[in-house]
Chain A
Amino acid sequence: MTRQAPESIEDIVKGIVAAELRTDRGKLQPQTHLMKDLGADSLDALNIAIRLEEAFKIKIPDEAIPNFLTVGDIVKGVEKHQASASMV
């Protein structure tokens, strides 16, 4: 019997970005720029932040959101906020 590997942070982030921006997750690379490559706007960024907070049980501060420019930025951001949460 094989255990299914838990989804990585990157997998979950790609799933959320793909769902919110109505795009194919196969197109998402760490360097994919949400606004320049996928046509996202600030409202999309806010909605993605909501979904990330729900999925990872973290709180994303307002000032972090403008830094979520690429998929890779988001993954790093989630890792950072998960680490802060676990330090409490």
Chain B
Amino acid sequence: MTRSSPFSVRGRHALLIIKDERDLAIVRRQLGRLGMSVSEADPEQLAAPTAAIDVIVLDADSIPIKSDPASALKCDAPVIALIGTETPSRLKWLLDLQPASFLVKPLRSAGLYTALVVAFDCAQRRSEEAAHIERLEMRIRSRRVVLAAVLQLMRSHALSEADAFTLLRQTAMRHRTTIEQLSADMITLGGMPNRSSRTA
């Protein structure tokens, strides 16, 4: 997997959900300088985004707190929040969107690049962490299967638990598969799979 640098923002696409014309002008101009493309959405009529979006720049004050955050805000793109009102009720609403970074209004051209870099880096780390957690969860889910395979080997080959696990691990390595996958195959087949069926 290639890891794109958070510092290279050229060519990325931002969705702007900003009502105030002055703020909008500043963001448009600065993103233009950075070589990013933009599309804009009306804060009052949010729809699911049509184009691929790399980042959402959202004026937090433009959306009523009690409204359900629209699907446009629930996509995977990191959110940069523009903050005017610092009341806890507004910030709590914002936290539910898990903003990757923020800027305090009134906006200036300075600061936006930092916010973008932090947002892209944060999004990258988040997706890596999510993948890592997914792998860990998979392992936890397959724990019972591995245990069943070890027990099967202990019974069929009269092995200790340690030896059964070693055999399982070595066989998985030989077959170029994971312990979890081999265990699942063993449970299905009722024994060690035929070597030729697993090797490429």
Same complex origin of A and B: no
Hey, which bits of chain B sit against chain A, CB under 8 A? none
Hey, which bits of chain A sit against chain B, CB under 8 A? none
